[in-house]
Amino acid sequence: MMNGHTNGIDTNGGVDHWPENVGIVNMEVYFPSQYVDQSELEEFDGASSGKYTIGLGQTKMGFCDDLEDINSLCLTVVDRLVQKTPGLSYNSIGRLEVGTETLVDKSKSVKSVLMNLFKESGNSDVEGVDSTNACYGGTAALFNCISWVESSYWDGRYAIAVAADIAVYAKGAARPTGGAGAVAMLIGPNASLVFERGLRATHTQHAYDFYKPNMASEYATVDGKLSVQCYLSSLDKCYNLYRQKAAKKCKIQNGVDEGNPFTINEFDAVLFHSPYCKLVQKSFARLDLNDFVSASNNERASKYEGFESFNSVELEKSYFDRDVEKAFMAHSLTCFQEKTKPSLHMATNVGNMYTASLYGGLAAFLCSKSKDDLVGNRVALFSYGSGLVSSLFSLRIRSENLETVISTLGDLNKTLEGRRKVEASEFSKACQLREDTHHLAPYQPTGTVSNLAPGTWYINNIDEMHRRTYSKREVMTNGYH
């Protein structure tokens, strides 16, 4: 499977042509082995029934106790990716990027900790560090890895992009939107998930919608209403810019302007960064609204019957228009259930994984169909990070190496169901412990190692100089793994 990584390299060590079909060759997902039920959390918090489960669309929330931090999550997911990928070794990796906003050090990168995995191989020639901008860092890491493979500095080896975070909030309305997880993506040529060249739209601006100014705390400062507006506004801008680039590319390739407006029907799946699942459904409806706004009168009459009252709607004034939201959520419901809902299985059962959220959704989508049903699919991905940076890009699925991706991800539903359920009171105590011991040194974690899944890395000790050491819970020999 891994015999194609030297494609594009001549015998003198230089690139003789651009590598083909660059994208995700393989990927792995990790999430905590324990969760709290959101309906039970509603009751524990004294919230109205359905506030978290229906209002937010969340079912379960994975969380970490004091045994795990951002370094251990990344150690686990990268270790598993390399072990599960046939023929892959640490010597065949030339770039490693990490995207995260879960910082345990203001200077030392998570990537540098991951180099412990490379020690035995002797390979220290590995480019890349960390990228940080709220939930967008994983996408920045991914884009950097793709650019490296397509650059004159590429030496024929693979890159790995890691997206990982632990999302925790103070007691209150935001706490049920937490979560934790990590995704590692092997990037190279001859991929099964190929990124479409020239089709990437980005919108950035300055905003204080979600930020972490208190360096002594894991908790964010959040302007909830502004955050939703920034998310939807960024989606509008990225989608319209993407459509412009798609039309231009089509005209260049075909020599003529086809004249038909680009719509969400061009995609077999549309995936989103998911702070909570209800926002994703509203966002899909937002794309339908964009299609409506740009449609001709004839198209509106045929595709949007009874929507005449919305003919004068302005995108910039409709972010919190309940009538518009309700109408387009209803109109797009069937399409949403087909193109987006399968990708939310991870988000509703694990919660917000911040930088890993979008890519956990990609993994869930890949596990929702058979290999034959995936081949040929065109997938749109929207990434958003507060502050803010956002991008809309797309990939196409090929059959080559796809079986390896599916095999590596395994049965995600079985893994989700195999987690340990904890009482809401225990979850609350775990959150309080994290708060009380945040950046405490020296510190010896008090969590139970046997609660971790075999193969999971965890904090062994934090000494008086804040130096962290890690151990790995090995696979047991009694058949449990």
Please state, as a whole number, how many other Cβ atoms lie within 10 Å of the Cβ of residue 103.
Answer: 16
Which residues have a Cβ under 8 Å from the Cβ of 302 and sit 6 or more positions away?
Answer: none
What is d(CA 202, CA 239) in angstroms, rounded to the nearest whole number? 9
pLDDT number for residue 6: 45
Please state, as a whole number, how many other Cβ atoms lie within 10 Å of the Cβ of residue 115.
Answer: 14
CATH homologous superfamily for 23-472?
Answer: Thiolase/Chalcone synthase (3.40.47.10)
Backbone CA torsion sign across 423, 62, 351, 469 = positive
Domain boundaries, the chain: 23-472
> DSSP string spanning 30-99?
E--SEEEEHHHHHHHHTPPTTTTTTSS---EEE---TT--HHHHHHHHHHHHHHHSTT--GGGEEEEEEE
Backbone CA torsion sign across 216, 217, 218, 223 = negative
pLDDT number for residue 480: 32
- 465 phi, psi to nearest 5 deg: -100, 20
Candidate list 74, 135, 230, 431, residue with the active-site label: 135
pLDDT number for residue 351: 96
Per-residue DSSP letter, 441: S
Residue 246's nearest CA partner among 235, 258, 234 is 258
Per-residue model confidence as pLDDT tens for the chain (481 residues): 454 444 444 334 444 567 999 999 999 999 999 999 999 999 999 999 999 999 999 999 999 999 999 999 999 999 999 999 999 999 999 999 999 999 999 999 999 999 999 999 999 999 999 999 999 999 999 999 999 999 999 999 999 999 999 999 999 989 999 999 999 999 999 999 999 998 999 999 999 999 999 988 999 999 999 999 999 999 999 999 999 999 888 766 766 565 677 899 999 999 999 999 999 999 999 999 999 999 999 899 999 999 999 999 999 999 999 999 999 999 999 999 999 999 999 999 999 999 999 999 999 999 999 999 999 999 999 999 999 999 999 999 999 999 999 999 999 999 999 999 999 999 999 999 999 999 899 999 999 999 999 999 999 999 999 999 999 998 654 433 3
Residue 199's nearest CA partner among 252, 138, 155 is 252
pLDDT number for residue 3: 47
Instruction: Classify strands 221-222 and 210-211 as parallel, antiparallel or unpaired.
Output: antiparallel
Q: Which two tokens stand for residue 317?
A: 């004034």
Which residues have a Cβ under 8 Å from the Cβ of 280 and sit 6 or more positions away?
Answer: 57, 272, 274, 340, 344, 347
> What's the one-letter identity of residue 119?
K
Give residue for tokens 């929330």.
61
pLDDT number for residue 250: 76
What is d(CA 97, CA 184) in angstroms, rounded to the nearest whole number? 10
> DSSP string spanning 263-315?
-GGG-SEEEE--SSHHHHHHHHHHHHHHHHHHS-HHHHHHHSTT-GGGTT--G
Please state, as a whole number, how many other Cβ atoms lie within 10 Å of the Cβ of residue 337.
Answer: 12
Q: 396 forms bridges with which residues in the sheet?
A: 194, 378
Q: Are 86 and 404 in contact, with CB atoms under 8 Å apart?
A: yes
H-helix or E-strand containing 189? none
Per-residue DSSP letter, 479: S
137: left (phi over 0), alpha (psi -120 to 50) or beta: alpha
| Residue 48 Cα to chain centre, angstroms | 30
Instruction: Classify strands 269-272 and 23-30 as parallel, antiparallel or unpaired.
Output: unpaired
H-helix or E-strand containing 138? helix 137-149
Candidate list 28, 42, 68, 101, residue with the active-site label: 101
- 209 phi, psi to nearest 5 deg: -90, -30
Catalytic residue check, 474: no
| Residue 448 Cα to chain centre, angstroms | 28
Q: How far apart are the first and last CA of the chain?
A: 25
Instruction: Classify strands 60-62 and 34-37 as parallel, antiparallel or unpaired.
Output: antiparallel
Q: Are 188 and 159 in contact, with CB atoms under 8 Å apart?
A: yes
Candidate list 74, 97, 238, 273, residue with the active-site label: 273
Catalytic residue check, 273: yes
Catalytic residue check, 481: no
What is d(CA 389, CA 242) in angstroms, rounded to the nearest whole number? 15
Backbone CA torsion sign across 401, 77, 158, 88 = negative
Q: Is 338 helix (H, G, I), strand (E, B) or coil?
A: helix
pLDDT number for residue 10: 39
What is d(CA 166, CA 255) in angstroms, rounded to the nearest whole number? 48
Which residues have a Cβ under 8 Å from the Cβ of 149 and sit 6 or more positions away?
Answer: 19, 22, 159, 187, 188, 189
